[in-house]
Amino acid sequence: MRQKLKELEKKIGYKFQRFDLLCQAMRHSSYANEKHMEKNECNERLEFLGDAVLELVSSEFLFFENKKMPEGELTSIVCEPSLAFCARELNLGSYLLLGKGEENTGGRYRESLTSDALEALIGAIYLDGGFASAKEFIHRFVLNDLEHKKLFFDSKTILQEIVQGNFNEPIEYTLLKEEGPDHNKSFFISVSIGNEVYGNGKGRTKKAAEQEAAYQAILELHKRKLK
């Protein structure tokens, strides 16, 4: 596993002085319980710390990026879906240390676990290299390309707004098929506007597949508009 985590270090461009912090950041409570480790040896405390660091860095970013926006509208978009999107880009799930039960029920791909692990990683970097290192990581992997992230994790809402403003037909999501055992299913969904299919999506939940389908539909509508 050490070699695998060395690969993660290279991917994020940060070398830990205390490698044990990186190990802890990737250690889910199910693994710690299975190995009879102390409760504080899993990643939950690092996740708590990383969440606070992330909130400060993202709030500062929004403050300076939106200089005329009133306080009530300065709401961070760094929520679980956007963090899960960032974790997916890093393939963070593949580096998690999970208990057998969590592993067998698809925990490696569960958004709540991967987003928590990303916050734990931020907490570990903060403890190892200080605020500047954590801030650099957040700007590089979380706050980059915000519009694309927002489009992806809020695609169903955005597609609904586009269709309401430009079409008279309704949106319909259709489940095409399901694959895999109950604990590790994949759902395939298409989205139609009227009678025409505009996008297809695959996900480990119906909701995730619908978001992917909506995202593809938005890209297709944008492409047609440019022609």
Active site residues: 51, 119
CA torsion 129→130→132→135, rounded to 10°? 90
Local structure of 202: helix, strand or coil: strand
Q: What is Dmax (Cα atoms) for the chain? A: 60
Site of tokens 């938005």: 218
Q: What are phi and psi of 193, to 5 degrees?
A: -115, 110
Local structure of 145: helix, strand or coil: coil
b/e sequence 109-120, b meaning 16+ C-beta within 10 Å = bbbebbbbbbbb
Q: Cα 226 to the chain's mean position, in Å?
A: 29
Sheet order of strands, 196-203 included = 171-179, 186-193, 196-203
